[in-house]
Amino acid sequence: MRPLEWINGNIQFLDQTKLPLEEVFIKTDDVVVLTEAIKRLAIRGAPLIGIAAAYGVALAGLQYKKTDANELRSHLHSTINILASTRPTAVNLFRALNRQRRVLDSWQSNSVVDLQKRLVDEAVRIHQEDIEMCERISSFGVELLPQSCSILTHCNAGALATGGRGTALGIVTKAWEKGKIKCVYIDETRPLLQGARLTAWEMKRANIPATLIVDSMAAVLMKQGKIDAVIVGADRIAINGDVANKVGTYAIAVLAKHHGIPLYVAAPISSIDFQIKTGKDIPIEERDGKEMTEVFGKQIAPEGITVYSPAFDVTPNEFITAIVTDQGIVYPPFSESIHLLQSRISHP
Residues marked as catalytic: 235
Query: How far is the C-alpha of 82 from the C-alpha of 136, rounded, in Å?
Result: 32
SS percent in the chain: helix, strand, coil, step 5: 45, 20, 35
* 95-128 b/e (C-beta count within 10 Å ≥ 16 → b): bbbebbbebbeebeeeebeebbebbbebbeebbe
Q: In sequence order, what are the beta bridge partners of 153?
A: 186
Query: Residues in the chain, how many?
Result: 348
Q: Which residues contact 196 (CB under 8 A, 6 or more apart)?
A: 186, 188, 189, 212
Q: Peptide bond preceding 348: is omega within 30 degrees of 0, i.e. cis?
A: no
Secondary structure (H, E, C), 283-306: CCCECCCHHHHEECCEECCCCCCC
Cβ-proximal residues to 206 (8 Å cutoff; 6+ apart), any chain: 173, 176
Compute the distance between CA of residue 119 and CA of residue 53 in angstroms, rounded to an integer.
Answer: 11
Contact yes or no for 142/166 (Cβ under 8 A):
no
Q: Return d(Cα 161, Cα 45) in angstroms, integer.
A: 4
Q: How far apart are CA 175 and CA 26, in angstroms?
A: 32
Angstrom CA distances, 203 to 42, 59, 131, 181, 320, stand at 19, 33, 19, 12, 25
